[in-house]
Chains A and B, each alone.
Chain A
Amino acid sequence: MAFRAAMLRHIRVPVQNLTLKRPILQSWSFGNPTRSMSSHGDDHLDREEVIERVLSVIKDFPKVDPSKVTPDVHFQKDLGLDSLDTVEIVMALEEEFKLEIPDKEADKIDSCPLAIEYIVSHPMAG
């Protein structure tokens, strides 16, 4: 017991170490500390990024000629797809952006510009 007490008296925890730890802890918490954790608000995806990802999803669709895909193509008029293909593409976009587009909205999306517009303005698109 006496030995233990002597040891404890000898061992000193350097105080400056504790103060050093603070900034490390702060930077650990979700990157920028001023940013809110809410997924709403200004968390929208960048338009350029959305366009790029939408185009890559469409290019990956087996029936589409990738060289024809531009940000303003119409699925049926320009790419020669039918309504079933359009449903498939919209589903693929839902999967890519982790969205669930209600039937009513999904039925309206029949071209690249509309798809991009919908995803850019969707708060939950990720």
Chain B
Amino acid sequence: MSCVAPSAPSRAEILSLFRSLLRTAQKFSDYNIREYAKRRAIDGFRLNRDVSDPSMASSAYSEGKSQLEVAKRQAVVYSLYAPKVKSVMDVKSR
């Protein structure tokens, strides 16, 4: 979309993206999708934690941004088709 030379995202920006992804993940009504989105966000950030090349970091960052938009949209769509029965994992055992 943009042709400006990518600059590496700052540490705060990255953590903020991570936090937004986790927050969005919590919005899914289905247990399995919720856990998947959370796991996917954590694994994705772990996978790229040692990326030092600025252009690699910035492409990973924009990939994360676009995934965040997908997740936000899907959370809304899935909420319209929320499962009628809770997952057994959602039933608190405490």
Contact across chains for B19 and A106 when beta carbons are under 8 A apart: yes
Contact across chains for B22 and A103 when beta carbons are under 8 A apart: no
The answer, yes or no, to whether B49 is at the interface (CB within 8 Å) is yes
Contact across chains for A88 and B12 when beta carbons are under 8 A apart: no
CA distance A88 to B12 in the complex (A): 15
Could you say which of A87, A95, A107 has the most chain B C-beta atoms within 10 Å of its C-beta?
A87
Checking A84, A91, A106, A107 against B49 with a beta-carbon cut-off of 8 angstroms, the contacting residue is A84
Contact across chains for A91 and B23 when beta carbons are under 8 A apart: yes
Chain B residues near A106 (CB-CB < 8 A): 19
Contact across chains for B19 and A83 when beta carbons are under 8 A apart: no
The answer, yes or no, to whether A82 is at the interface (CB within 8 Å) is yes
Assign chain B's interface to a size class: 10 to 19
Judged by DSSP, the binding face of A is helix
A residues contacting the other copy or chain, number (CB 8 A): 10
Judged by DSSP, the binding face of B is helix
Chain B residues near A87 (CB-CB < 8 A): 15, 18-19, 22
Chain A residues near B16 (CB-CB < 8 A): 103
In the complex, what residue of chain B is closest to A100 when comparing beta carbons?
Answer: B23
Q: Which of A67-126 contact B (CB under 8 A)?
A: 82-84, 87-88, 91, 95, 103, 106-107
Chain B residues near A95 (CB-CB < 8 A): 26
Contact across chains for B15 and A88 when beta carbons are under 8 A apart: no
Contact across chains for B18 and A84 when beta carbons are under 8 A apart: yes
The answer, yes or no, to whether B45 is at the interface (CB within 8 Å) is yes
In the complex, what residue of chain B is closest to A84 when comparing beta carbons?
Answer: B45
The answer, yes or no, to whether B11 is at the interface (CB within 8 Å) is yes
Nearest chain A CB to B48's CB is how many angstroms away? 10
Interface pairs (24), CB distance under 8 Å:
A82-B49, A83-B11, A83-B15, A84-B15, A84-B18, A84-B42, A84-B45, A84-B46, A84-B49, A87-B15, A87-B18, A87-B19, A87-B22, A88-B22, A88-B42, A91-B19, A91-B22, A91-B23, A95-B26, A103-B16, A103-B19, A106-B19, A107-B12, A107-B15
